[in-house]
Chains A and B, each alone.
Chain A
Amino acid sequence: AQRVTQPEKLLSVFKGAPVELKCNYSYSGSPELFWYVQYSRQRLQLLLRHISRESIKGFTADLNKGETSFHLKKPFAQEEDSAMYYCALNTNAGKSTFGDGTTLTVKP
């Protein structure tokens, strides 16, 4: 069965500092990986997906199949990045598995 692990429940950085939210997965097939974000009092929404290879709000994530990781990075964190971040994996059959999330706090 597939599994998604986000090892940090809480992450705190200062504004302007680099930030990396870790995501590790286990899945025997070829996964589709996503990062979803939930800002305060808002619904869960897509931040980015690996297949798009886009940079959204300055965030990037690279799929590393050797290390089975999909870490989310941003070189200069902003206060508005404070939110809950979830890594998610979709299998070939379309089944979704979410990690338990990381709460990011960006301090002024």
Chain B
Amino acid sequence: EAGVAQSPRYKIIEKRQSVAFWCNPISGHATLYWYQQILGQGPKLLIQFQNNGVVDDSQLPKDRFSAERLKGVDSTLKIQPAKLEDSAVYLCASSMLAGGTDTQYFGPGTRLTVL
């Protein structure tokens, strides 16, 4: 089966610019996650969708980050404006079951560098 797809794989921007990431989960997976992984740390959950509704966005910096999941399938994560501390790998994952207790399947990630 096709895995989780993400684009772009790499992005370099200057601070105060905007950036958007795209994720296509595994077909039929109900739950979609966005994580931020800063170098040397584990993935930190930013937002979790169940179908097209938000389950958890408690760690999403809502003053600059936004995310949506279109028709319960693809998702985009946007940063506007970016700060230096946003430099990280942004991981998308999906899981089959609703409720989010299932195994997660990860995409390759987008490495963001903010200069």
Question: What size tier do the contact residues of chain B reach?
Answer: 20 to 34
B43 beta carbon closer than 8 Å to chain A = yes
* Cross-chain contact B42 with A101 (CB below 8 angstroms): yes
Q: Contact residues of B with A, CB < 8 Å?
A: 3, 31, 33, 35, 40-45, 48, 50, 55-56, 91, 93, 99-101, 103-109
A20 beta carbon closer than 8 Å to chain B = no
A97 to B109, CA, bound (A): 18
A43 beta carbon closer than 8 Å to chain B = yes
Chain B residues in 8 Å Cβ range of A100? 40-42
Chain B residues in 8 Å Cβ range of A32? 101
Pick the contact of A43 from B55, B100, B108 — CB < 8 Å?
B108
Chain A residues in 8 Å Cβ range of B33? 96
Across the two chains, which residue of chain A brings its CB closest to B99?
A94
* Cross-chain contact B100 with A99 (CB below 8 angstroms): no
A62 to B56, CA, bound (A): 29
19 pairs from A and B in contact (CB 8 Å cutoff): A4-B42, A32-B101, A36-B104, A36-B106, A44-B43, A44-B91, A44-B93, A86-B42, A90-B101, A92-B101, A93-B99, A94-B31, A94-B100, A94-B101, A96-B100, A96-B104, A98-B42, A99-B42, A100-B40
